[in-house]
Structure 1
């Protein structure tokens, strides 16, 4: 989820206030420098130019003998769909899209039906699909030990990022003078967050159904969890609920996701800070740097009782074991869930850092090599991170050991000459020690470094980015792509963030200097500069046109054939009156620079989350918050159920009408 609109009122859109006040350079400053360098050396770059197809990508394709084949084969075999503001899903001719598992679909327990007036109870919601679908993955039924090959049967696992409280209850939430008064309503909101796990099966006609199996379940903002990694048991994780700092409760604001090579699901906690309130005047750095303030987003902390008071981080006791001053430190992590083991407890991996995680993507795994993964901090002027495991990946081991708990977290610095560096956030690293000394900042141990990941990244001089969101790794050549959605809070540009004020966003990519991705250097460029026809540049180097103009790129995914799928999350005036219409999904061919619009979503919705079956005959796409801003008396969208019905987030199943592979 990405928004530039800042809303401080109760039940606002949930984006956190920018909290990076460091003097670190911004990527936009570097891009201006890089642009000038490339213009000066245009002869070396040739016709590709800056913001075009990377020369090494073209060279790699030609060396692989694919140059002629690429010209003959149509890699984007569909006509681009037109911009639309219809309250519907639009896909190209020859394709069909059907609605699947919308919010409230019964999946477990008593299988309570969704009630049109939203009068379902909190317990009902715990047995139904959660609200606001986001990151998603299809696990084939035979994927317990890795990738899996079955396409007709599996588990569909997706995040439920947040809730629209006005639609979750019959008449919206009950408040008195800004205070919540109904514990039942708040429990329902807590149960609508988290992750949905559903067993699904495809029939002979291509239709998908929910299988009422024992694997179906919800992970919510109240589910018991465990901490792992260097921060486990840390003094800054001790609370009234967990005096030893090892146990956590719940996960929330889960945006994008990741999938481990051993077949587990990773859900990522993004805009979690707004769920907490603290009325302490002098905040510790682990709260202040993450933007906590005196009022919370949903007001859960205003109700009595331990299940709600944990969202009040105000100091109330003589020690941390007597209150919830440290409860916010249990959030901002990446959580591992075993979808095939309903008795397992989710684990929060602290070695991957604490920030507003958008998602997690893995570099191609190699037996006997370290495990490498990337994550973006989705907030204005925050950073991109890489994690390298200390141990080696051994695919024949069912249990991966401590690969996600023992390793080094790095943060990216993008240089104006097109190079980049990974800077270690490790107390044992001499450069990090020197940076801490120069900044006059000390950490007691590595656990404290990771609880204060943003501060550690500030200290080493990481590059501020324009809201780093989803990432994806090109299966053809290992290049890493990241969306930088937008940023309206910046007044100057740099090499990797090319606009002083960036309302449209862009996509950056880089190539690591080691084949196993575990090195400390890389080379980067811009893949796409989003925007209208008069202010944009596509992968081919030409301006975007009516087939592919877009703004606020967010979701990102490579299909098995190396096509890049791009999803957008526009809001405000871009949706209401801009040239882009509703949010959309496009497909790009990195080898040729071609890009086309494949899908347009309904009114007010974000297009987010994407996965496919191994046979590539079914594509799952999530549609989040249609009719965003609706209230029971003012429905801005009625998708997917039709006139007079509350809008509901849902998954859309896309297939070809002839039943063949999607492309």
Structure 2
């Protein structure tokens, strides 16, 4: 690869987390060091939080404070809903999945301590193994991985790079399933020997390493371990930058988008539908476009609101091998990305869809639940500082007896954006009420001066006009299958208290970090460690537009004054920083993966009960290798396996292919992002 990107990386300014300069540039075009694209001046969640109470009152809450906060043990809520095919790292149909494990013992796994090891570290009594990694064969005819003999054609048949969202859907054989995974972005400095390939070939291979993979896997005996099904079943599939997509919903009629789009990239988190399709969120699409001269004036406002360049610049440089990535030549290409993608893993010949009714933003993902009257609701976060939380509710109802009848549900309904209000009671809690504000249905816009298609194409601009609450990087948002509450990971915002005023829902103007493992805590400006938000909709019904909310976790080191762990004793919890994705086991316990830990240790996966006397007891379940991000997580439907996607191991500023700072999973002398599974040696439920 050409070294021209390296000077740009070295010029990046102030850090906003523990991510390396390299990761910030390659993953998200360093969005946090650019001007915030939201100029609306809408109230920020921090302002909402600050209005509520003094922090000192909150810190007095210990285990006994749980009762005062109105927290009680919650019974399983299991209305008639989806008889779904799969277990999910999201909503399990409020407990109606076949084989749903139901209540179990408390989370009793040993705690993995903070560390900087170049490996997956698991609790005592557990084992872990890699299932599939970058370059492994996926589709028939794929060559064996050879880093010295890569071609774009080979990569398009092999597992992609920097795996993120991971989902398992079953086949008829209960020992075989399909693993579906996003491949979010590439790091050409770690992927290729220096000087081995010319610049054009490197870019083409990288393009083929983006997208999604569908891979057959099989259980090992009766254990919780899974491995690749090397018979390469007919379902195996790669989806790349060049795969044809169909755009559905009202935006497809707009000439800026159209009905056919080539490819997907920047795919971060996702979700699974009750009819067994996979939803994938196109997140940091803004970093893939170059501008050779200028961009037509009519597109500038929209592009800037999404952080897409409008003046002469080179980012990935893909325009040198594919001119559609030059916005001077094709300014409408950027409108074709930033959507929720739907893929049918059971039909490898099907055309994937981009569902425009869920709006265009930097989607972390989209997770599905079923409303009380049988309709579909989808939650999605716009992963950038100061952006919003959204929900879509379908017009039609889910039909559990007719799979194909459900395929159009995401094209008709209403898209909402969330506004949070603090209660101002001074009761020592960050909490309040909120409202889902309608933006548009598929037939009527509720934003003055904007058509239905305009709201969906420029969703950020439409949302600005109705005054929702600006959040601290809203990422994964999922409904708990047991208690019916919705949990949102708000990863961090180093500008909170500065560019973004504090409020009751985003209260921290200062927080603490550690420069290295074991070093003293250092106070820094902003919300560096993030929150986990708990949201209760009226009657636990996702169709309702009113809700109550509270900050379940104010993340960080328990020794730091600002942290809060659901009212649990802070001397008995693990430090946790930068929550990214959430999942639930069969008893409704929350599992959290982290991205960008600023407490000096590796990222990992953490467990925490959301009810009962141990509500808020955060315990680290595993840590991922050095400089890696913990993606997923996913708990199997029988609770016997925890899956983790290890992304960008060893992605540090000084790392090169020849001199890596990680070699995980230790199959080669360089790192390979991969999917791993973790299980108990005795075959029991993970976490217990």
Same fold (TM over 0.5): yes
Q: Is residue 413–residue 442 contact of structure 2 (8 Å, CA) maintained in 1?
A: no
CA pair 599-232 structure 1, distance change in 2 beyond 3 A: same
CA pair 553-112 structure 1, distance change in 2 beyond 3 A: same
| Counterpart-to-counterpart distance in 2, 1:503 and 1:221 | 34
Could you say which residue in structure 2 is the equivalent of 1:531?
Answer: 556
Q: Is residue 119–residue 169 contact of structure 1 (8 Å, CA) maintained in 2?
A: no
| Counterpart-to-counterpart distance in 1, 2:46 and 2:67 | 20
Could you say which residue in structure 2 is the equivalent of 1:253?
Answer: 266
1:100: Cα distance to partner? 1.7
Q: Is residue 200–residue 320 contact of structure 2 (8 Å, CA) maintained in 1?
A: no
| Counterpart-to-counterpart distance in 1, 2:202 and 2:407 | 41
CA pair 173-505 structure 1, distance change in 2 beyond 3 A: farther
1:522 corresponds to 2:547: yes
Could you say which residue in structure 2 is the equivalent of 1:563?
Answer: 589
| Counterpart-to-counterpart distance in 1, 2:145 and 2:18 | 29
CA pair 660-534 structure 1, distance change in 2 beyond 3 A: closer
Q: Is residue 17–residue 528 contact of structure 2 (8 Å, CA) maintained in 1?
A: no
Match of 1:269 among 271, 282, 286: 282
1:185 corresponds to 2:202: yes
1:428: Cα distance to partner? 9.2
Q: Is residue 53–residue 590 contact of structure 1 (8 Å, CA) maintained in 2?
A: no
| Counterpart-to-counterpart distance in 1, 2:175 and 2:54 | 52
Could you say which residue in structure 1 is the equivalent of 2:161?
Answer: 131
The secondary structure found in structure 2 opposite 1:603 is: coil
Per-residue CA deviation, residues 609-633 of structure 1 (Å, 9 max, x unaligned), is 1223322222221111100133113
Could you say which residue in structure 1 is the equivalent of 2:520?
Answer: none
1:53: Cα distance to partner? 7.8
Could you say which residue in structure 1 is the equivalent of 2:255?
Answer: 235
1:5: Cα distance to partner? 7.2
1:608 corresponds to 2:626: no
CA pair 421-120 structure 1, distance change in 2 beyond 3 A: same
Could you say which residue in structure 2 is the equivalent of 1:14?
Answer: 29
The 5-angstrom pairing of residues 83-232 of structure 1 reads: 83-115=114-146, 117-142=147-172, 151-171=174-194, 182-204=199-221, 206=223, 207=225, 208-210=227-229, 211-232=231-252
| Counterpart-to-counterpart distance in 1, 2:494 and 2:266 | 22
Q: Is residue 539–residue 590 contact of structure 1 (8 Å, CA) maintained in 2?
A: no
Could you say which residue in structure 2 is the equivalent of 1:359?
Answer: 365
1:287 corresponds to 2:292: no
| Counterpart-to-counterpart distance in 1, 2:589 and 2:122 | 17
Per-residue CA deviation, residues 55-103 of structure 1 (Å, 9 max, x unaligned), is 5541645999xxxxxxx97411211111111111111111101112011
1:513 corresponds to 2:538: yes
1:202: Cα distance to partner? 1.5
| Counterpart-to-counterpart distance in 2, 1:114 and 1:60 | 49
| Counterpart-to-counterpart distance in 1, 2:222 and 2:115 | 30
1:151: Cα distance to partner? 4.6
Moved over 6 A (4+): 1-10, 45-48, 427-431
1:112: Cα distance to partner? 1.1
CA pair 650-470 structure 1, distance change in 2 beyond 3 A: same
Could you say which residue in structure 2 is the equivalent of 1:68?
Answer: none
Per-residue CA deviation, residues 545-601 of structure 1 (Å, 9 max, x unaligned), is 574101111111011211110111116xx2xxx34x111111001113222111011
Q: Is residue 12–residue 297 contact of structure 1 (8 Å, CA) maintained in 2?
A: no
Q: Is residue 103–residue 650 contact of structure 1 (8 Å, CA) maintained in 2?
A: yes
| Counterpart-to-counterpart distance in 2, 1:6 and 1:230 | 39
1:267: Cα distance to partner? 0.9
1:532: Cα distance to partner? 1.4
1:118: Cα distance to partner? 4.6
Q: Is residue 533–residue 543 contact of structure 1 (8 Å, CA) maintained in 2?
A: no
1:537: Cα distance to partner? 3.2
The 5-angstrom pairing of residues 305-384 of structure 1 reads: 308-314=322-328, 316=329, 324-366=330-372, 368-384=373-389
**Comparing 398-407 with 83-92, which one deviates more in the overlay?**
398-407
CA pair 201-488 structure 1, distance change in 2 beyond 3 A: same
Q: Is residue 48–residue 55 contact of structure 1 (8 Å, CA) maintained in 2?
A: no
| Counterpart-to-counterpart distance in 1, 2:67 and 2:334 | 42
Q: Is residue 432–residue 460 contact of structure 1 (8 Å, CA) maintained in 2?
A: no
1:655 corresponds to 2:679: yes
The 5-angstrom pairing of residues 8-87 of structure 1 reads: 11=26, 14-16=29-31, 17=34, 18-36=36-54, 55=69, 57-58=71-72, 60-61=74-75, 74-87=105-118
Q: Is residue 493–residue 499 contact of structure 1 (8 Å, CA) maintained in 2?
A: yes
The secondary structure found in structure 1 opposite 2:677 is: strand
What TM-score, normalized to structure 1?
0.85
CA pair 365-549 structure 1, distance change in 2 beyond 3 A: same
| Counterpart-to-counterpart distance in 2, 1:543 and 1:557 | 23
Q: Is residue 63–residue 568 contact of structure 2 (8 Å, CA) maintained in 1?
A: no
Per-residue CA deviation, residues 370-391 of structure 1 (Å, 9 max, x unaligned), is 2111000000110000101112
1:395: Cα distance to partner? 1.9
Gaps of 5+ in 2: 1-15, 79-102, 424-431, 510-525
Gaps of 5+ in 1: 65-71, 143-149, 175-180, 238-244, 317-323, 437-441
What TM-score, normalized to structure 2?
0.82
Number of aligned pairs?
A: 602
CA pair 62-9 structure 1, distance change in 2 beyond 3 A: closer
The secondary structure found in structure 2 opposite 1:477 is: coil
